């Protein structure tokens, strides 16, 4: 069941959400009435749990809005409250709320009993034909005039299982011992410059004066120029432009200058490396800078780590790829080619063909550079799932989640290019970091512009061109259906330049679990009906690539499935195959 929990207390939200998830419910959590409204506007909710006293009574007003909404009015609602005020209770009764539990009397047994009663009451009406009683049965719909619609047209796409089988057949292209030795040679060659090391050393001392830091920065003219440009970028702009190293150091701050100079120095040392065939160092660093900015923004929202620290983690998250490209260029090019051929995330091919991923390579090198573990863990584990992150590094789990989510978001926004074409789910990370649902749209709006500004400061004068543009992928107009506002894959499906007036030619449905099939089928049918269009071909994305919308509504549609994570190229190929199959079926019907 899809449940929305709206409560101001973090303890209540944590405990109740944990209890609901143990029942296998899907839970969206809101800390305010405004967040609750955002979820209700974008997520198919089947039961609402709410404290009416949230936001000084805004919760009560939200209940009133829900009860008068034609689409939400019949949604089961359970009130959890401290309120003993009779006037509040009477207002709840007038609004038709019959399921209420005082927090002072809360127990797991009482809550589960009340929840069971509430969930069975006021079943939400379904406007369209619900199909057969068995949701997995295949039953054709009667068309006008008694004719039966065309049978389901399944389009077979290359599966993840086939790709994984191809992965298993590959052999390592380099011995681990040889790889480590070559990496060691590269790390010594690309070690941090003495000027940067001196600034890092001085900035790490509390007794160091601003004058001493300024003198140290001035030693390297290229770094001094970039520090001034950085101080004038959107990350630090306050007031008039600065023109001196002293003013730049003062503006950035002695606490931040150490990491700022470290970041600039690392880009300078590694910017000349050609990351992968077809990808420029500039595009690689543009991606890295975007991840750094996004991680810093997430750190400010969550207050889990310092934004400057998050920025450095984000900037260095893929540094292992540059080191691999320089240490073993031919072998790494072969790895990249296989990743493209199999349409698998690059890190999976690295593990198979190099016996270690770029993240593990970064760990080896950063250790020799003296980086602390709290900085290394988010870099090493950023490709893991949220559950595996908690197991691998429970102490730094939230810091890792920030970098992991930042990387996934930038991949979805298509800023720069890291050599990896994969797109990843994001919802678990939003939930773990307790980010509000509007975070995704806010970041998607501001990060590209911030990246354009900051990359000029950080890449100026290096071999990486600072005048880069975003990577774009042409997709036909489509409907995207998802249960979560924090699903970043929706950004991939809504590329720049697509006019909202363009009629959709297909639908993409993102299913996180089997219990979403009915609700998302309903959303898809509603959208098609509102747009006045015939049933569209549909591509369904799910964790294992085996979930479908309700099969009786697949009748007459070309459809296909893909497992997540997947690659952008595989999504494009799937969409193209579906559109082609749909056109062929339409031509055949017209010919008949």
Q: What pTM did the predictor assign?
A: 0.68
pLDDT of 569 above 60: yes
Q: Are residues 449 and 502 in the same domain?
A: no
Determine the Cα–Cα distance for residues 184 and 406; give it in Å rounded to an integer: 29
Q: Are residues 306 and 416 in the same domain?
A: yes
User: Could you tell me the CATH number of the domain that includes residue 115?
Assistant: 3.40.50.2300
Of 229, 252, 286, 284, give the one whose Cα is nearest residue 451: 286
Q: Are residues 256 and 322 in the same domain?
A: yes
Q: Residue 45 has which token pair?
A: 């909710």
Q: Does residue 362 lie within any of the structural domains?
A: yes
Q: Does residue 313 lie within any of the structural domains?
A: yes
Q: Does residue 104 lie within any of the structural domains?
A: yes
User: What is the mean predicted confidence (pLDDT) over 170-191?
Assistant: 84
Determine the Cα–Cα distance for residues 236 and 252; give it in Å rounded to an integer: 7
Contact predicate 386/394, CB 8 Å: no
Determine the Cα–Cα distance for residues 494 and 474; give it in Å rounded to an integer: 10
pLDDT at 580: 86
Contact predicate 406/295, CB 8 Å: yes
User: What is the mean predicted confidence (pLDDT) over 76-97?
Assistant: 76
Q: Are residues 455 and 481 in the same domain?
A: no
Q: What percent of the chain has pLDDT over 70?
A: 81
3-state secondary structure of 228: helix
Q: Are residues 103 and 218 in the same domain?
A: no
User: Which of 459, 481, 502 corresponds to the end of one domain?
Assistant: 459
Q: Does residue 132 lie within any of the structural domains?
A: no
Determine the Cα–Cα distance for residues 273 and 277; give it in Å rounded to an integer: 11
pLDDT of 405 above 90: yes
Contact predicate 3/23, CB 8 Å: no
Range of the domain at 340: 172-459
Determine the Cα–Cα distance for residues 346 and 434; give it in Å rounded to an integer: 29
pLDDT of 362 above 80: yes
User: What is the mean predicted confidence (pLDDT) over 9-13?
Assistant: 83
User: Which of 430, 459, 488 corresponds to the end of one domain?
Assistant: 459
Determine the Cα–Cα distance for residues 125 and 559; give it in Å rounded to an integer: 27
> CA–CA distance from 265 to each of 65, 284, 307 (Å)?
55, 16, 19
Q: Are residues 381 and 524 in the same domain?
A: no
Contact predicate 33/56, CB 8 Å: no
pLDDT at 190: 62
Q: Are residues 249 and 320 in the same domain?
A: yes
Q: Does residue 213 lie within any of the structural domains?
A: yes
Q: Are residues 285 and 371 in the same domain?
A: yes
pLDDT band, very low/low/confident/very high, at 300 (cuts 50, 70, 90): very high
User: Could you tell me the CATH number of the domain that includes residue 555?
Assistant: 3.40.50
Over the stretch 52-63, which tens digit does the pLDDT of each residue have? 888 777 888 888
Q: Does residue 133 lie within any of the structural domains?
A: no
Q: Does residue 129 lie within any of the structural domains?
A: no
pLDDT of 154 above 60: yes
pLDDT of 461 above 80: no
Find which of 34-43, 98-107, 147-156, 396-405 is predicted with most confidence, using mean pLDDT.
Answer: 396-405
Q: Are residues 181 and 114 in the same domain?
A: no
Is pLDDT larger for residue 404 or for residue 501? 404
Q: Are residues 6 and 52 in the same domain?
A: yes
pLDDT band, very low/low/confident/very high, at 255 (cuts 50, 70, 90): low
Residue with tokens 């459809």: 559
Give the largest CA-CA distance in the chain. Answer: 87
Determine the Cα–Cα distance for residues 537 and 581; give it in Å rounded to an integer: 9
Q: Residue 385 has which token pair?
A: 């799932």
Contacts of 555 (CB under 8 A, 6+ apart): 140, 141, 149, 150, 151, 152, 535
pLDDT at 306: 87
Find which of 99-108, 200-209, 496-505, 567-576 is predicted with most confidence, using mean pLDDT.
Answer: 567-576
Find which of 12-16, 26-30, 210-214, 439-443 is predicted with most confidence, using mean pLDDT.
Answer: 439-443
pLDDT at 193: 66
User: Which of 55, 87, 120 corresponds to the end of one domain?
Assistant: 120
How many domains does the chain fold into? 3
The angle at the Cα of 123, spanning 117 to 127, to the nearest 5 degrees, equals 170
* DSSP-assigned letter for residue 173: S
Determine the Cα–Cα distance for residues 187 and 190; give it in Å rounded to an integer: 5
Q: 319-327 and 358-368 are packed helices; what angle lies between their axes, rounded to 10 degrees? A: 90
3-state secondary structure of 279: strand
Determine the Cα–Cα distance for residues 267 and 272; give it in Å rounded to an integer: 9
pLDDT of 276 above 60: no
User: What is the mean predicted confidence (pLDDT) over 100-128?
Assistant: 69
Return the minimum-mean-pLDDT range out of 243-247, 262-266, 561-565: 262-266
DSSP string, 352-381: HHHSS-HHHHHHHHHHHTT--HHHHHHHHS
User: What is the mean predicted confidence (pLDDT) over 329-348?
Assistant: 88
Return the minimum-mean-pLDDT range out of 87-101, 390-404, 421-435: 87-101
Determine the Cα–Cα distance for residues 524 and 381; give it in Å rounded to an integer: 36
Q: Are residues 443 and 548 in the same domain?
A: no
pLDDT of 523 above 80: yes
Over the stretch 375-392, which tens digit does the pLDDT of each residue have? 889 999 999 989 899 888
Q: Does residue 214 lie within any of the structural domains?
A: yes
Residue 50, Cβ density class (10 Å: 0-12 exposed, 13-18 middle, ≥19 buried): buried
Q: Are residues 116 and 250 in the same domain?
A: no
Is pLDDT larger for residue 480 or for residue 117? 480
User: Could you tell me the CATH number of the domain that includes residue 368?
Assistant: 1.10.3210.10
């Amino acid at each position: 069941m899809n449940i929305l929990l709206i409560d101001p207390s973090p303890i209540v939200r944590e405990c109740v959400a944990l209890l609901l998830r143990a029942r296998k419910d899907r839970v969206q959590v809101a800390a305010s009435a405004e967040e609750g409204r955002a979820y209700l506007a974008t997520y198919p909710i089947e039961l609402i749990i709410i404290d009416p006293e949230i936001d000084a009574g805004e919760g009560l007003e939200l209940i009133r809005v829900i009860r008068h909404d034609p689409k939400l009015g019949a949604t089961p609602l359970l009130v959890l409250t401290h309120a003993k005020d009779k006037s509040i209770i009477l207002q709840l009764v007038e609004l038709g709320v019959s399921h209420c539990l005082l927090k002072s009397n809360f127990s797991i047994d009482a809550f589960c009993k009340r929840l069971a009663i509430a969930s069975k009451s006021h079943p939400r009406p379904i406007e369209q034909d619900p199909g057969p009683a068995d949701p997995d049965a295949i039953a054709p719909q009667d068309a006008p005039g008694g004719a039966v619609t065309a049978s389901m047209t399944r389009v077979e796409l290359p599966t993840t299982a086939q790709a994984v089988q191809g992965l298993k057949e590959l052999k390592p292209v380099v011995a681990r011992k040889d790889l480590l030795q070559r990496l060691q040679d590269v790390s010594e060659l690309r070690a941090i410059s003495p000027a940067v090391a001196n600034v890092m050393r001085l900035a790490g001392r509390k007794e160091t004066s601003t004058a001493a830091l300024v003198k140290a920065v001035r030693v390297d003219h290229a770094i001094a120029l970039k520090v001034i440009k950085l101080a004038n970028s959107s990350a630090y702009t306050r007031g008039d432009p600065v023109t001196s190293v002293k003013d730049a150091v003062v503006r950035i701050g002695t606490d931040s200058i150490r990491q700022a100079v470290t970041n600039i120095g690392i880009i300078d040392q590694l910017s000349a490396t050609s990351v992968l065939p077809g990808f420029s160092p500039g595009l690689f660093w543009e991606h890295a800078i975007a991840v750094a900015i996004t991680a810093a923004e997430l750190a400010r929202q969550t207050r889990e780590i310092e934004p400057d620290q998050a920025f450095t983690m984000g900037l260095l998250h893929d540094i292992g790829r540059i080191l691999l490209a320089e240490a073993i260029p031919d072998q790494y090019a072969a790895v990249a080619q296989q990743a493209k051929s199999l349409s698998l995330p690059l890190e999976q091919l690295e593990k198979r063909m190099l016996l270690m991923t770029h993240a593990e390579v970064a760990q080896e090198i950063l250790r020799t550079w003296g980086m602390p573990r709290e900085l290394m863990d988010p870099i090493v584990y950023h490709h893991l799932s949220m559950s595996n992150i908690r197991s691998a590094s429970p102490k730094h789990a939230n810091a890792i989640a920030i970098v992991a989510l930042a990387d996934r978001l930038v991949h979805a926004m298509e800023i720069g290019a890291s050599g990896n074409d994969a797109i990843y789910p994001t919802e678990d990370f939003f939930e773990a970091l307790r980010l509000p649902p509007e975070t995704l749209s806010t970041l998607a709006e501001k990060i590209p512009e911030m990246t354009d500004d900051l990359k000029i400061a950080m890449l100026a004068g290096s071999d990486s061109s600072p005048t880069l543009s975003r990577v774009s992928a042409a997709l036909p107009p489509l409907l995207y259906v998802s249960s979560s506002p924090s699903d970043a894959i929706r950004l991939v499906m809504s590329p720049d330049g697509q006019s909202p007036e363009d009629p959709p030619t297909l639908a993409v449905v993102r299913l996180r679990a089997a219990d979403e099939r009915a609700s998302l089928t309903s959303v898809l049918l509603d959208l098609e009906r509102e747009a006045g269009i015939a049933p569209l071909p549909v591509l369904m994305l799910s964790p294992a690539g085996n979930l479908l919308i309700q099969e009786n509504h697949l009748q007459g549609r070309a459809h296909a499935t893909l497992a997540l994570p997947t690659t952008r190229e595989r999504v494009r190929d799937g969409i193209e195959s579906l559109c082609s199959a749909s056109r062929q079926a339409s031509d055949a019907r017209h010919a008949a």
